[in-house]
Every structure is written in structure tokens, then in C-alpha cells.
A = this chain, B = another copy of it.
Amino acid sequence: MEGLDVGLKAVGAGLAMVGAFGPGIGIGLMVQGAMQGIARNPDAAGAIQTNMILGIVFAEAVAIYALVVALVVLFVL
């Protein structure tokens, strides 16, 4: 039954990456807000950019959690 084992691991890793679509949308939403903010008030571009990168880091972390679980499923389990 080794084939079934490997195959189900592949399905599990694939399912984990489905969760990565959230951060993709989220990064888009926050950069959208930052773009509109810089256009409305270019003087605040520094503070907006700093907070945008701060937010991207946390959202990217969620995608990396999914990636870590996928890689653990593939190589460690």
C-alpha cells in the first residue's frame, strides 16, 4: 500500500496550499489601500509604506505557514 500512502501525502500537501489564496488576496487589498492613500496624501507616503510592509510581512507569514505544512507533509511525515 505504499502507493496510496504517497498519493494521499500529495493530496494533503496540495490541500495545504489551497490555504495560500487568502494571503494573496489580502496583500492585494492592503496594497490597494496604500496606493489610494499615497495618491490622496503623498506627504504620508513614508508612514503608509512602513505600515504596508508591516502588514505584508504578517500576511506573507500566513502563506509561509501553509508552505511549511505542505513541505512537512511531503518530506518529514
- How many copies of this chain does one complex carry? 5
A58–B45 Cα distance when bound, in Å, is 19
Which residues of A from 3 to 34 have beta carbons under 8 Å from B? 3-34
CB nearest to A27 among chain B residues: B59
Q: Which residues of B contact A74 (CB under 8 A)?
A: 69, 72-73, 76-77
CB nearest to A26 among chain B residues: B28
17 additional contacts (CB under 8 A) given A18-B21, A24-B27, A65-B67? A10-B12, A12-B13, A14-B69, A19-B66, A22-B24, A26-B28, A27-B59, A29-B32, A30-B32, A33-B36, A36-B39, A38-B44, A39-B48, A42-B43, A49-B51, A69-B71, A74-B76
